[in-house]
Amino acid sequence: MFSCTLYYTYIPFSVVFSVERERETREMHSCSIRCAIRHLAWLVFVCSWRVAAARDQPAAPKTDPVEAAALNTILGRWGKKASSEWNISGEPCSGLASDNSDWDYYPNINPFIKCDCTFGNNTLCHITKLMLASNPLSGQLPKELGNLTNLLSLYVASSGFSGRFPSTFSKLRNLKILRASDNGFVGKIPDYFGSMTNLKDM
């Protein structure tokens, strides 16, 4: 007959506890790494989405630089400043100047402009209306007005202007409305007004 003797190895409790604690520590460390990786992946996704959204968003249209320079010169001649209601961060065709509102709703904003920002696939703005009426100005109409070639309406009535219309005024071929009464203009109406065929209200 054969006999079988079982031998038991005694493992101190402290060793078992130490091994178990080490295992738990490894698991916690592994979990922390996985959580950090998931968090990082989420941040990358969110940032990538925001960058893509910003890239796809069309840039705000800009005022024609020639017209912007002309407007700044015209206003600066009398120390006038563009209202923050329509000139935001130095961009004339912004705010109320570029929306679809009627400027008659804002009688207290003067000087005032309106723009058409549909040019260049909605990237370029042209100044189409200029309000200077009833301002305490003086002297001749600024020659720089001739650079606002897309102007449709010009209001300069009761503003203290004098002298003759500048020759550059002949470049305003798109002008439809000109209000220039109650000023001190002299001389005959310039011949070039005859070629301004769009001018219907004067």
CATH T-level topology, domain 62-195 = 3.80.10
Residue linked to tokens 């065929």: 197
Straight-line distance from the first to the last Cα atom of the chain, in angstroms, rounded to the nearest whole number: 133
List residues bridging with 4 in a β-sheet: none
- Residues, the chain: 202
pLDDT in tens, the chain (202 residues): 545 554 445 555 454 445 556 665 665 555 566 666 666 666 666 555 554 444 555 678 999 999 999 999 999 988 888 888 888 778 999 999 998 888 777 888 899 999 999 999 999 999 999 999 999 998 999 999 999 999 999 999 999 999 999 999 999 999 999 999 999 999 898 999 999 999 988 7
> What is the DSSP code string of 125-150?
EEEEEEE-TT----BSPPGGGGG-TT
Give phi and psi for 75, each to the nearest 5.
-70, -40
Predicted pLDDT of residue 14: 54
**pTM of the shown model:** 0.70
Predicted pLDDT of residue 154: 96
Predicted pLDDT of residue 139: 92
CA-atom Rg of the chain in angstroms: 37
Predicted pLDDT of residue 142: 94
